[in-house]
Amino acid sequence: MSNLNRNKLITLLKVQYSNMLEYRVEIALWAISGIIPFFMLNIWTNNNLNESINMSNIMLSRYFLSAFFVRQFSVVWVVFTFEEDALLGKISPYLIQPLNPFFRYFAQHIAEQITRLPFAIIIAIIFFLVNPESIWIPSLSIFLLSSISTFFSFLIQFLIQSIISCLCFWTEKASSIERLLFIPTLFLSGLLAPVISFPDYVKSWIYITPFPYLIDFPANLLAGNMTNVISGFIMQIFWILILFPLFKRIWFLGTKKYTAMGS
Amino acid sequence: MNFKKYIKIYSLFLYTSLASELEYKANVIIDFITAILSLIGSIFLLSIFFKSSESIGGWSFEQALIIQGIYTILNGITNTWLNPNLTEIVKHIREGTLDFVLIKPIDSQFYISLKKIAPSGFLEIILGFCLLCYCVVINQININFEFFLLCFTTLFCSIVILYSLWFLISTTTIWFVKTWNATEVLRSFLYIGRFPLNSFSFSLRIFFSIFIPIAFITTIPSEVFLGLAEIWEIFLEIIVSSIFLIFSRRFWLFALKYYTSASS
Q: How far apart are CA B30 and CA B183, in angstroms?
A: 23
H or E segment to which residue A96 belongs:
helix A91-96
Q: Could you report the per-residue pLDDT of A56-107, keeping only the tens digit for each?
A: 889 999 999 999 999 999 999 899 889 888 877 788 888 888 888 898 899 9
What span, in angstroms and rounded, lies between the C-alpha atoms of A165 and A80?
Answer: 8
Identify whether the C-beta of residue A153 lies closer than 8 Å to the C-beta of residue A215: yes
Alpha carbon of B41: minimum distance to chain A alpha carbons (Å): 6
pLDDT at res. B74? 94
Interface size, chain A vs chain B, as Cβ–Cβ contacts under 8 Å:
101
Within an 8 Å CB–CB cutoff, is residue A197 touching chain B? yes
A171:B53 CB<8 A = no
Please give the average per-residue pLDDT across A165-180, as a whole number. 84
Distance of CA B108 to the CA centre of its chain: 20
Contact B178 A48 (CB under 8 A): no
Q: Is the pLDDT of residue A146 over 90?
A: yes
pLDDT at A260: 64
Please indicate whether, in this complex, the C-beta atoms of A173 and B178 are within 8 angstroms of each other: no
In which residue ranges of chain B is pLDDT below 70? 1, 177-181, 262-264
Judge whether A181 is closer than 8 Å to chain B, CB to CB: no
Among chain A residues, CA nearest to B186: A33
Q: Helix, strand or coil for residue A80?
A: helix
User: Amino acid identity of B86?
Assistant: L
Among B49, B180, B195, most A C-beta atoms within 10 A, so best to mutate, is B49
User: Which A residues in the span 102-141 are in contact with B, Cβ-Cβ below 8 Å?
Assistant: none
Condensed to tens digits (0 to 9), the pLDDT of residues A151-162 reads 999 999 999 999
| Tens-place pLDDT, residues B190-245 | 888 888 888 888 888 888 888 778 878 898 999 998 888 888 889 999 999 999 99
User: Any chain A CB within 8 A of the CB of B235?
Assistant: no
For chain B, the average pLDDT equals: 87
Q: Which helix (H) or strand (E) covers residue A157, if one does?
A: helix A140-166
| Residues of chain B neighbouring A30 (CB-CB closer than 8 A) | 181, 184
Residues 6+ apart with CB under 8 A from B40: none
ipTM value for the complex: 0.86
- Picking from A124, A113, A109, the residue whose alpha carbon sits closest to that of residue A35 is A124
B188 touches chain A (CB under 8 A): yes
**Residue type for position B39:** L
Furthest-apart CA atoms within chain B: distance in Å: 62
For A41, nearest residue in chain B (alpha carbons): B200
Q: Considering only CB atoms, which chain B residues are within 8 Å of A216?
A: none
Check if B104 contacts A (Cβ < 8 Å).
no
Q: Kindly tell me if the per-residue pLDDT of A112 is higher than 60.
A: yes
pLDDT band with cut points at 50, 70 and 90 for residue A51: confident
Percent of residues, chain A, with pLDDT higher than 70? 97
| Residue closest to B113 by CA, chosen among B216, B13, B22 | B13
| Domain limits, chain B | 3-256
Residue of B nearest to A28 (CA): B181
Spatial contact of A106 and A158, defined as CB atoms under 8 Å apart: yes
Residue B262's pLDDT is 61
Q: What is the pLDDT of residue A263?
A: 44
Q: Any idea where the domains of chain A sit in the sequence?
A: 3-262
> How confident is the model at residue A29, as a pLDDT?
83
Report the pLDDT value the prediction gives residue A175, as an integer from 0 to 100. 82
Continuous segment of H or E residues that includes residue A106: helix A101-130
pLDDT of residue B131: 94
pTM across the whole model: 0.89
Q: Under an 8 A CB cutoff, do A173 and B27 touch?
A: yes
- Is it the case that residue A22 has pLDDT exceeding 80? no
The verdict on A192 touching B (C-beta cutoff 8 Å) is: yes
B262 CB-near residues (< 8 Å, 6+ apart): B93, B94, B95, B96, B177
Q: Does A46 touch chain B (CB under 8 A)?
A: yes
Q: Residue B263's pLDDT is what?
A: 53
